[in-house]
Amino acid sequence: MTVTDAVVRLAIILGFFLVVPLVVGQMEHKAMAHMQSRVGPMYAGAFHGWAQLVADGVKFAQKEDVVPAAADRRVFQLAPAVALIPYLVVLVAIPIGPGTQVGRDLDAGLFFVLAVMGVGVLGSLMAGWASANKYSLLGGIRSAAQLMAYELPMILAASSVAMAAGTLSLTGIAVAWHWYWLPWQLMGLFVFFVSGLAELQRPPFDMPVADSEIIFGAYTEYTGIRFALFLLAEYAGIVVLSLLTTVLYLGGWKGPFYLGLGAAGFGWFWTLAKTLVLAFLVIWLRVSYPRLREDQLQKLAWTTLIPLALAQIALTGILKVV
> What confidence tens digit (pLDDT) does each residue in 50-91 have?
777 788 888 888 888 888 888 888 999 999 999 988 988 898
pLDDT above 60: residue 312: yes
What are the start-end ranges of the H helices in 92-169?
109-119, 121-130, 134-165
Q: What is the pTM assigned to this prediction?
A: 0.89
Name the DSSP letter for residue 45. S
Around Cβ 15, how many Cβ atoms within 10 Å? 10
If DSSP codes are grouped into helix, strand and coil, which group holds residue 3?
helix
Inside any domain, residue 29: no
Amino acid residing at 81:
A
Inside any domain, residue 39: no
Amino acid residing at 58:
V
95 touches 109 (CB < 8 A): no
Cβ-in-10-Å burial (0-12, 13-18, 19+) of 27 comes to middle
Positive or negative, the CA dihedral 180, 20, 191, 114 is: positive
pLDDT above 90: residue 2: no
pLDDT above 90: residue 246: yes
Concatenated DSSP letters for 10-35?
HHHHHHHHHHHHHHHHHHHHHHHHHH
The whole-number pLDDT of residue 260 equals: 46
Mean pLDDT of the chain: 84
Inside any domain, residue 209: yes
Backbone angle region of 18, left / alpha / beta, with phi > 0 → left and psi within -120 to 50 → alpha: alpha
Can you give the residue range of the structural domain that contains 246?
A: 66-321
pLDDT (tens digit per residue) in 261-306 = 444 557 788 888 899 999 999 999 988 888 888 889 889 999 999 9
Share of the chain above pLDDT 70, in %: 90
pLDDT (tens digit per residue) in 184-205 = 899 999 999 999 999 888 888 8
Q: How far is the C-alpha of 283 from the C-alpha of 32, rounded, in Å?
A: 8
pLDDT above 50: residue 216: yes
Inside any domain, residue 307: yes
Amino acid residing at 157:
A
Distances (CA, A) of 109 to 112, 158, 211: 5, 12, 37
pLDDT above 60: residue 259: no
Inside any domain, residue 287: yes
Q: How far is the C-alpha of 157 from the C-alpha of 313, rounded, in Å?
A: 7
Amino acid residing at 132:
A
Name which residue leads in pLDDT, 11 or 236. 236
Inside any domain, residue 53: no
Number of domains in the chain: 1
Q: How far is the C-alpha of 165 from the C-alpha of 272, rounded, in Å?
A: 22
pLDDT above 60: residue 123: yes
pLDDT (tens digit per residue) in 14-53 = 666 678 888 888 888 888 888 887 777 777 776 777 777 7
Inside any domain, residue 22: no
pLDDT (tens digit per residue) in 99-114 = 667 777 888 889 999 9
Nearest residue to 136 via CA among 50, 230, 43, 225: 230
The whole-number pLDDT of residue 159 equals: 93
Average pLDDT rounded to a whole number, residues 142-161: 90
Q: Which residues of 106-116 are buried (b: 16+ CB within 10 A; e: fewer)?
A: beebbebbbeb
Q: How far is the C-alpha of 93 from the C-alpha of 81, rounded, in Å?
A: 20
Positive or negative, the CA dihedral 84, 89, 93, 97 is: positive
The whole-number pLDDT of residue 8 equals: 66
Inside any domain, residue 2: no
Around Cβ 23, how many Cβ atoms within 10 Å? 15
Amino acid residing at 240:
V
The whole-number pLDDT of residue 258 equals: 47
Backbone angle region of 2, left / alpha / beta, with phi > 0 → left and psi within -120 to 50 → alpha: beta
Q: How far is the C-alpha of 26 from the C-alpha of 34, rounded, in Å?
A: 13
